[in-house]
Structure 1
Amino acid sequence: MKSKSEWFLFLIFFFIYTLFFHPVSDDNENSRYDLIFSLVELKTINIDQFEDNTQDKALFNGHYYSDKAIGTSFLGSLIYFPLHYFVHGFEVSRSFVQYIIRILVISIPSAAMVILLFRLITEFGLSQNKALVTVIFYGLGTSALPYSTVFHGHQLCGFFILVAYYIVLKDFKISSHVSSKKGFIFGILLGFACITEFDTILIVPLFIFLAVSKTRRFAWLVWFFPGFILPMFLQSAYNWMCFGSPLILAYSHHVLPHRGIGFMGLVYPSFKSLYGILFSPFRGLFFYSPFLIFFILGVVKVFCRPIRFELLIAFFCMLFYIFLNISLVDWEGGACAGPRYLVPVIPFMIILLSQSLQRMKPVSYFLYESLGWSSAGIFLLITATNINLPLISKFPLSEITRYLLRIGDSNLLTSVIWKNPTQFKILPLVLIVLFLFLYIRISADGRNKIFLNSVISCFSIGFFLVLLNIPFNKNSSSNHEYFGEHFSRQSKFELAENEFSFALQSNPHDWKSMYLLGELRRQQNCLNEAITLYKQTIGENKDYFAPYYRLGVIALNSENYEESVRLLEKALILSTGIPEIYNNLGIAYYGLLKYNDAEKMFRKAVELKPGYAQAWFNIGNLYLQYWKSPESIKYFEKALQIIPGFTPAKSQLDIAKKMFPK
């Protein structure tokens, strides 16, 4: 850091990003965390033991693997390796460990990006005061905020790209000597960006072209390529160990078939997706961050002046990412906040936007600040409530964020301590924004115009309230169903029950909400109510396997084996190869003394899921108790190989070794 003000800004944003605590991770995060925990705890690259918590995975030769580029998980495993042994023996929750990893791998680089961006836009001619305002809008008023608080790869990738861009701008000069160290670091940065988000590889030629055009020399490439290849070698080695080839990615074996369409889900661009990621209330970049509309004016100014090649590269990086996003089969990005695939290159938008602020008229700058503070308000509330805005809502800001705000659901770290569901949980956010606002005004070279600032504040609040008050479909059954699932994952059972009840009031035939309410009752050990709801679900939808499965397991636990077999066989017919159904059906057959049928079911379960420790244990139990065979030993050992702390398997293995000494 060059100055105290930069340190201060870094610490402010570091504090803001660490203030958010998400107790329940999404599929994207879980896939990355699963690989970390498998690498460190189990010394394996498959995620068989953890795969139940995510759909973001690949299945190959009977093993599950994370579908993500390994950069984030690789750095996370370097953090978790010493942390794992440090916390061993202490009662530390998994969610807290994930929080620490996320802070060190994602939040710190994200806070550093704010400082780096500040330096870059001042380098391109923006005054320090306007630059300060602009980077605050970037850090609080774009998708950078939510993705600095979760374990996704977007911000980390953006950090590597931005540092590489900064190095080229500062150290690659015409006819100057570029040290081997700088060339190597430049290569490593771009290499790690590529293995953090695969799409980045398409803009690497732009960076090489920029560096060559600035130096007009090629000698540094001798050190660039080893640096670039090193991270790529890590990814290639991982691909080879998982899928048998360095060039095959997880998307080729994804459990969700549409992810394997085209190359990494890339198909063709469409105007629908272009509107969706730029302007729509659903995922629109300019809708969620309205101040970014000045990016368009900045681009116009760049092309109306003698063109700086660095700005041209920034423009093409942004353009490439927009084209990639609108070409994806799942361009929406799943449940997310804004167009998340554009997050790595939003800093380039800010660089281009900064060109529009130079010599800007006061009225225009007034509008810019108003839109900027409105953007900050939008993303602070989204991040404080829930960043995984669902696909079912076309107006998520009003239908999801506003509702969660009204009932006081919060992802702030303070809410972990302050349990009461109240809107006052977001008070720290309000204080932070007020503090930053005052800090900007005090540091504005003494030109503190109180009246104008008040008008800007009022205008921003008014604009923000208009955005929040887009028609809210509060009677939507699907919205209440979403909220019910959201609260269930957080173990907020009372709130979840209310939402499922509202959904059923809106649509009494909503079989999905019936089933989910049954699941809630099962988790609360209200089995009679759960059974009733499962049966009602079957009455509404006879082709849904899940209620048959749950009723079959309940019958199994009651030792009603014949009824259990009937229900589980029905679930098996309706489902597509779920190993848990085979395993429980095997237990039911075992209860009916149909041992050969039981073994078939257990073996089918481990065929579908080789990391299924319970099924291996059940095979061992069958060989030990019924066939009295020493083969039981290898099955218990297999279960323990998967889960070293599997106590029942240890006990049965000891018994088997005593019965069948070598």
Structure 2
Amino acid sequence: MLGRLTGRLSAAHLLFGALLLSLAYFYQAGGWNQNSRYDLVRALAERGTVRIDSYHRNTGDKARLGGHFFSDKAPGQSFAVLPVALAVRTVGGDMGSPRGAKRASYAMTVFGSALPCAAMLFALLALARRHGRTDSAAFYAALVLCLGTPMWAYGTLLMGHALSAAALVGALACAEALSRAGSRRRDFLLGTATGLLAGWAVMTEYPAAVPALLLSGYLVWSIRAQMRARGPVVLSGLVAGACVCGGLLASYHVAAFGSPLATPLDHLYLFKKVREQPFDMPSASALYAIFLGGKRGLLPLAPVLAVSLYGLVLMIRDRQSRALGVLCALMILYYALFNAAFATPMAGWSYGPRYMAAALPFWALPLAWVWHRHRDKLRRA
């Protein structure tokens, strides 16, 4: 019976299940960051408000305006896991009791972080296949991403990094699929999916705004030869998807802070330095700490990522994947500079430089090119 069951499942589905189990097995409970998101979910589910006045004492990650408290996080992950909270309440779960809070936050973490983290496998697989890489090369990149980098830790926490990263790489997979011509309906749906996913990445983590623009530019580049015939349909879908997320985010900002352009950074309750001067020029010391720092540097934690730089060279040297390689390099460069310029580069107590998390899929993808070129040697190793 087991043989018949596994025969119906592809290797990708089996690997996805293994990745999901490896993430969902662990539960790291609350913390200021997680609690801030959890509080917003409770406020929406239990009181129909964006104010977290009744719950804010469990976190310092909050904003204050007009005597009321709000989450200081972008709302995308809280919106994404809201159906989980409503389901918990429907079956009689008390999100305020210790046992109910554990069950609810665990379910939200699995749905909002572990599941998107594991699902990045399918985006990497689609991208690798599109450029002639083998499935095993994509599996290697996905395993490294989910189990060999700090992304594993973020996939077990109710933080926005895994969801934002998954949305960005999912948007890239949709944009890449548009490089192959199809029906007008397909073009519109893929354009819409690209806009929705890129927009949701921004709704989940504000720094994803620049990567979302880069992805939009990559989509335009992908269809440049057919812009006159396909451009209006594809771009209308892209704009429609982005407007849905933009409308939700603007509505949240108005409800919480009185203006569609206001953000929680303007009203932080703590972290005066971040509120008054969130950015400065990127510094060499910050870059060193981010990438090579002995305690939480990205490369000491995930040394295999150094090999990915060679993978980027392989991508850029290959005419077919050159644009994709340049995009991956730009994503990594942007997040490195953003991280180094931010007031708190290491972002408090976290596993590694967590503001680099959304760049990790684009850092891992080039490993598929390394595996594809040297797979015989790597298998023997």
Deviation at 1:300, TM superposition (A): 2.7
Letter in structure 2 aligned against 1:108: L
1:153 matched residue in structure 2? 160
2:59 matched residue in structure 1? 54
Deviations 1:462-504 (A, max 9, x none): xxxxxxxxxxxxxxxxxxxxxxxxxxxxxxxxxxxxxxxxxxx
Letter in structure 1 aligned against 2:149: T
Match of 1:195 among 192, 203, 206: 203
Deviation at 1:301, TM superposition (A): 2.8
1:296 matched residue in structure 2? 309
The change in CA–CA distance for 1:88 and 1:292 in structure 2 (over 3 A counts) is closer
2:286 matched residue in structure 1? 273
- Once residues 297 and 184 of structure 1 are traced to their aligned partners in structure 2, the CA distance between those partners, rounded to angstroms, is 34
Identity %: 26
Deviations 1:421-462 (A, max 9, x none): xxxxxxxxxxxxxxxxxxxxxxxxxxxxxxx6xxx6xxxxxx
Structure 1 residues not aligned, in runs of 5+: 367-451, 457-662
Q: After superposition, where does 1:118-517 map in structure 2 within 5 Å? A: 118-173=125-180, 177=184, 179-216=187-224, 217=227, 218-219=231-232, 220-256=234-270, 257-262=272-277, 265-306=278-319, 308-360=322-374, 365=378
1:660 matched residue in structure 2? none
Q: Report SS of the residue matched to 2:151.
A: coil
The change in CA–CA distance for 1:203 and 1:131 in structure 2 (over 3 A counts) is closer
Q: Conserved in 2, the CA contact under 8 Å of 1:273 and 1:326? A: yes
Q: Conserved in 1, the CA contact under 8 Å of 2:140 and 2:367? A: no
The change in CA–CA distance for 1:134 and 1:211 in structure 2 (over 3 A counts) is closer
1:4 matched residue in structure 2? 10
- Once residues 358 and 56 of structure 1 are traced to their aligned partners in structure 2, the CA distance between those partners, rounded to angstroms, is 44
Greater mean deviation of Cα atoms: 181-190 or 151-160: 181-190
The change in CA–CA distance for 1:31 and 1:340 in structure 2 (over 3 A counts) is same
Deviation at 1:174, TM superposition (A): 6.2
Letter in structure 1 aligned against 2:180: K
Deviations 1:305-359 (A, max 9, x none): 4362122112111111111111111001110011211111211111123323343
Q: Conserved in 2, the CA contact under 8 Å of 1:270 and 1:327? A: yes
**Aligned alpha-carbon RMSD (Å):** 2.2
2:122 matched residue in structure 1? 115
- Once residues 148 and 309 of structure 1 are traced to their aligned partners in structure 2, the CA distance between those partners, rounded to angstroms, is 29
Deviations 1:167-213 (A, max 9, x none): 11123336985532222222111111110011111122211221111
Deviation at 1:243, TM superposition (A): 1.5
The change in CA–CA distance for 1:189 and 1:89 in structure 2 (over 3 A counts) is closer
Deviation at 1:93, TM superposition (A): 2.7
Q: Report SS of the residue matched to 1:359.
A: helix
Q: Conserved in 1, the CA contact under 8 Å of 2:291 and 2:299? A: yes
Q: Report SS of the residue matched to 1:290.
A: coil
2:85 pairs with 1:80:
yes
Deviation at 1:29, TM superposition (A): 0.4
Q: Report SS of the residue matched to 1:65.
A: strand
- Once residues 117 and 302 of structure 1 are traced to their aligned partners in structure 2, the CA distance between those partners, rounded to angstroms, is 14
1:604 matched residue in structure 2? none
Deviation at 1:361, TM superposition (A): 8.2
Which one scores higher on RCO, CA 8 angstroms, separation ≥ 6?
Answer: 2
Deviations 1:196-235 (A, max 9, x none): 0111111222112211111122302122212101111111
Q: Conserved in 1, the CA contact under 8 Å of 2:133 and 2:372? A: yes
2:3 matched residue in structure 1? none
Deviation at 1:122, TM superposition (A): 4.1
Deviation at 1:362, TM superposition (A): 6.3
Q: Conserved in 2, the CA contact under 8 Å of 1:175 and 1:215? A: no
The change in CA–CA distance for 1:302 and 1:133 in structure 2 (over 3 A counts) is closer
- Once residues 165 and 259 of structure 2 are traced to their aligned partners in structure 1, the CA distance between those partners, rounded to angstroms, is 28
- Once residues 101 and 175 of structure 1 are traced to their aligned partners in structure 2, the CA distance between those partners, rounded to angstroms, is 37
1:68 matched residue in structure 2? 73
- Once residues 94 and 268 of structure 2 are traced to their aligned partners in structure 1, the CA distance between those partners, rounded to angstroms, is 37
Q: Report SS of the residue matched to 1:87.
A: coil
Deviations 1:387-435 (A, max 9, x none): xxxxxxxxxxxxxxxxxxxxxxxxxxxxxxxxxxxxxxxxxxxxxxxxx
Q: Report SS of the residue matched to 1:203.
A: helix
Deviations 1:139-184 (A, max 9, x none): 1111110111110001101111111111111233369855322222
Q: Conserved in 1, the CA contact under 8 Å of 2:114 and 2:156? A: yes
Letter in structure 2 aligned against 1:81: L
Q: Conserved in 1, the CA contact under 8 Å of 2:94 and 2:101? A: no
- Once residues 39 and 197 of structure 2 are traced to their aligned partners in structure 1, the CA distance between those partners, rounded to angstroms, is 25
Deviation at 1:119, TM superposition (A): 3.5
Letter in structure 2 aligned against 1:260: R
Q: Conserved in 2, the CA contact under 8 Å of 1:30 and 1:53? A: yes
Deviation at 1:6, TM superposition (A): 1.3
Q: Conserved in 1, the CA contact under 8 Å of 2:315 and 2:324? A: no
Structure exhibiting the larger radius of gyration computed from Cα positions: 1
2:53 pairs with 1:39:
no
Q: How many residues align?
A: 363
- Once residues 231 and 361 of structure 1 are traced to their aligned partners in structure 2, the CA distance between those partners, rounded to angstroms, is 41
TM-score (norm 2): 0.89
Letter in structure 2 aligned against 1:164: A
Letter in structure 2 aligned against 1:151: L
- Once residues 190 and 309 of structure 2 are traced to their aligned partners in structure 1, the CA distance between those partners, rounded to angstroms, is 33
Q: Conserved in 1, the CA contact under 8 Å of 2:145 and 2:151? A: yes
The change in CA–CA distance for 1:282 and 1:42 in structure 2 (over 3 A counts) is same
Letter in structure 2 aligned against 1:105: G
Letter in structure 2 aligned against 1:163: G
Q: Conserved in 2, the CA contact under 8 Å of 1:318 and 1:349? A: yes
- Once residues 101 and 72 of structure 2 are traced to their aligned partners in structure 1, the CA distance between those partners, rounded to angstroms, is 21
Letter in structure 2 aligned against 1:63: H
TM-score (norm 1): 0.52
Letter in structure 2 aligned against 1:316: L
- Once residues 27 and 291 of structure 2 are traced to their aligned partners in structure 1, the CA distance between those partners, rounded to angstroms, is 28
